[in-house]
């Protein structure tokens, strides 16, 4: 993260960039789209695979959402389908951990989740944007009940060890004060003619009125303490009832302190297209989606299969795999066609006779490093003490963020926090190098700087470092524009009798929507080839 510049060194360009952090996310969305991280779903409704495949057989590698989507649709179209899956469960990265679950990292370290009944953590995907139409449609078709996921909670915290004495600040206070101070500067620049070359006189009057309203400014276009500003940023003493009920307004922060705090950098997160309201989560955890798919195609899945070789000819495809429960026991499965959803870092290590272009594409795409933490506490202190019901707090500490459960509000009892979520960068790799127990201990240590209650209320926790995941070796495809230009088409093409699918074969990497859309695209193109003969 960039260090904040001294207030005296801020340029007009800097200021306009900062205003953009609160005024809207359109520009950032365009930038994210160019990097392949934010694009609207291309889902047009249920896939239509018309024509008789005449008993063609398909072998699908991987029972994640991409693989099970392909299996569901292709069996309905008349194909004979089988799935080989490394894990002993469906869903792949669509994964919710409950009490009693055991899971093992690549070095053999095994964790057993000790959460109480009905407590869980999503160590893979944990939210669904409203514009991920394919995921939402399959949830509807498969009977997966959804509930709102709270992305933005104005009462959650923004925190920096280098600002405000290390004391967490409410999102509401930072957001309102930052946009109001910015509005005041823009209004005054307008009145002094600073925008004469950019905005007509008539529009300047409209702009001034807009800034007065948007920034809660007084008649002099100043943002100052008042009952009116308290209606937006909150009160020092809230309105009450009876004697002594008169409210007391709170003191806004100085603009210079806000700028130097660097907390404004988090505000644009809530404007990103990916995270705009409304977002959803399945009732009971994200893994419910994988389980719903498995109810439809579970009879097609053979679990505990470690693929070691993929060989194709002009007649079909033969896959060699090891029985994970009986190491050294090798088996084979053959089919006319193969849909491979194995994550690229794993696939790159498997012996294949794919084309050199396909192999080059598989080897070229790195995977993001990510670590997640699930922490169970004796009570929901974030609700009882700090009145935080759902949402996310952001921090410059290595844990990055804390997400509060968006379910069972105000019910009391125990609760599980997402106690940290890292995405690439040094923090991810440093956590990955630690044992699961040490990672959890660090998450508790860092979290206590935001919520002192951690020290007394923590019970147990789990963590998952995706680069130590034996079935993915990373979290999600990490594309650049240059890599897409050179390798994307080669990765997605039908290579002989094999086609790939998964979030890495999409412009929405890291999202379930990308996995499903890539699968629908792959089976549509494969079906066209089969029908044409």
Distance CA 490, CA 63 (A): 23
Tell me which DSSP letter residue 64 carries: B
pLDDT at 34 (0 to 100): 36
In 3D space, the residue among 504, 502, 503, 493 whose CA is nearest the CA of residue 526 turns out to be 493
Tens-digit pLDDT profile for the chain (533 aa)? 333 333 334 444 444 444 444 444 333 333 343 333 445 567 888 899 999 999 999 999 999 999 999 999 999 999 999 999 999 999 999 999 999 999 999 999 999 999 999 999 999 999 999 999 999 999 999 999 999 999 999 999 999 999 999 999 999 999 999 999 999 999 999 999 988 889 899 999 999 999 999 999 999 999 999 999 999 999 999 999 999 999 999 999 999 999 999 999 999 888 899 999 999 999 999 999 999 999 999 999 999 999 999 999 999 999 999 999 999 999 999 999 999 999 999 999 999 999 999 999 999 999 999 999 999 999 999 999 999 999 999 999 999 999 999 999 999 999 999 999 999 999 999 999 999 999 999 999 999 999 999 999 999 999 999 999 999 999 999 999 999 999 999 999 999 999 999 999 999 999 999 999 999 999 999 999 999 98
Distance CA 367, CA 474 (A): 5
* Domain final residue, candidates 444, 468, 492: 468
Residue 512, in any domain of the structure:
yes
* Domain final residue, candidates 239, 264, 289: 264
Residue 52, in any domain of the structure:
no
438 and 497 share one domain? no
333 and 373 share one domain? no
Residue 376, in any domain of the structure:
yes
- How far is C-alpha 152 from the geometric centre of its chain's CA atoms? 14
Tokens of 18: 């900062």
Question: Residue 455's domain spans which residues?
Answer: 96-125+368-468
Tokens of 508: 């929405």
CB atoms within 10 A of CB 303: 16
Residue 474, in any domain of the structure:
no
232 and 312 share one domain? no
Query: Cis ω on the peptide bond leading into residue 278 (within 30° of 0)?
Result: yes
Looking up residue 325, the CATH number of its domain turns out to be 3.50.50.60
Q: Which helix (H) or strand (E) holds 373?
A: strand 370-377
Residue 432, in any domain of the structure:
yes
In 3D space, the residue among 387, 317, 305, 313 whose CA is nearest the CA of residue 346 turns out to be 305
Phi, psi (5° rounding) for residue 148? -65, 140
Residue 344, in any domain of the structure:
yes
Residue 287, in any domain of the structure:
no
432 and 373 share one domain? yes
Residue 319, in any domain of the structure:
yes
- Give me the number of domains the chain comprises: 3
Q: Name the 3-class secondary structure at 362.
A: helix
pLDDT at 40 (0 to 100): 57
359 and 332 share one domain? yes
- How far is C-alpha 11 from the geometric centre of its chain's CA atoms? 33
Positions of E strands within 115-255: 120-122, 128-129, 146-149, 157-159, 169-170, 235-237, 248-249
pLDDT at 28 (0 to 100): 39
* Burial letters 256-284, b for 16+ CB under 10 A, else e: eebbbbbbbbbbbbbbbbbbbeebbbbeb
431 and 498 share one domain? no
Distance CA 400, CA 199 (A): 40
Distance CA 133, CA 435 (A): 38
319 and 403 share one domain? no
Distance CA 493, CA 502 (A): 13
């Amino acid at each position: 993260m960039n260090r904040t510049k001294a207030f005296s060194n801020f340029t007009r360009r800097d200021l306009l960039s900062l205003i953009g952090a609160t005024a809207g996310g359109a520009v950032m969305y365009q930038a994210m789209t160019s990097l392949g991280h934010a694009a609207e779903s291309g889902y047009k409704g249920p896939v239509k695979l018309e024509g008789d495949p005449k008993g063609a057989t398909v072998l699908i590698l991987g029972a994640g959402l991409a693989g099970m989507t392909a299996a569901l649709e292709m069996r309905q179209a008349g194909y004979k389908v089988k799935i080989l899956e490394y894990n002993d469960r469906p869903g792949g990265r669509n994964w919710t951990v409950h009490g009693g679950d055991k899971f093992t990292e690549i070095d053999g370290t095994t964790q057993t989740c000790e959460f109480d009944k009905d407590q869980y953590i999503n160590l893979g995907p944990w939210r669904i944007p409203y514009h991920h139409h394919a995921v939402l449609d399959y949830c509807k078709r498969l009977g997966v009940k959804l509930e709102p996921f709270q992305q933005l909670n104005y009462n959650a915290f923004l925190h920096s060890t280098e600002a405000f004495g290390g004391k967490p600040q409410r999102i509401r206070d930072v957001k309102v004060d930052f946009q109001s101070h910015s509005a005041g500067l823009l209004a005054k620049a307008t009145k002094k003619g600073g925008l004469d070359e950019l905005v007509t006189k008539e529009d300047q009057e409209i702009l001034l009125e807009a800034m007065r309203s948007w920034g809660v400014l007084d008649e002099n276009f100043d943002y100052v303490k008042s009952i009116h500003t308290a209606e937006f940023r909150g009160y020092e003493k809230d309105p009450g009832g009876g004697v002594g009920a008169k409210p007391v307004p709170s003191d806004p922060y100085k603009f210079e302190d806000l700028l130097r705090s660097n907390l404004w950098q988090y505000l644009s997160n809530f404007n990103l297209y990916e995270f705009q309201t409304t977002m959803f989560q399945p009732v009971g955890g994200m893994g419910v989606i994988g389980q719903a798919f498995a109810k439809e195609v579970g009879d097609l899945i053979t679990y505990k299969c470690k693929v070691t070789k993929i060989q194709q000819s002009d007649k079909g495809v033969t896959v060699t795999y090891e029985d994970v429960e009986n190491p050294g026991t090798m088996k084979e499965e053959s089919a006319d066609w193969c849909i491979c959803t194995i994550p690229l870092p794993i696939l790159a290590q498997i012996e294949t006779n794919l084309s050199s272009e396909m192999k080059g594409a598989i080897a070229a795409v790195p995977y993001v490093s990510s670590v997640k933490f699930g922490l169970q506490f004796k009570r929901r202190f974030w609700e009882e003490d700090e009145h935080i019901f759902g949402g996310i707090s952001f921090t410059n500490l290595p844990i990055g963020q804390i997400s509060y459960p968006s379910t069972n509000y105000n019910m009391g009892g125990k609760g599980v926090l997402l106690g940290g979520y890292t995405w690439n960068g040094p923090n991810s790799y440093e956590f990955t190098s630690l044992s699961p127990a040490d990672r959890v201990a660090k998450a508790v240590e860092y979290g206590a700087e935001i919520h002192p209650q951690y020290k007394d209320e923590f019970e147990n926790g789990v963590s998952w470092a995706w680069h130590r995941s034996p079935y993915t070796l990373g979290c999600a495809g990490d594309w650049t524009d240059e890599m897409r230009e050179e390798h994307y088409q080669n990765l997605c093409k039908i290579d002989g009798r094999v086609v790939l699918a998964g979030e890495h074969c999409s412009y929405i990497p890291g999202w379930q929507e990308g996995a499903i859309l890539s699968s629908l695209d792959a089976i549509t193109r494969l079906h066209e080839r089969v029908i044409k003969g």
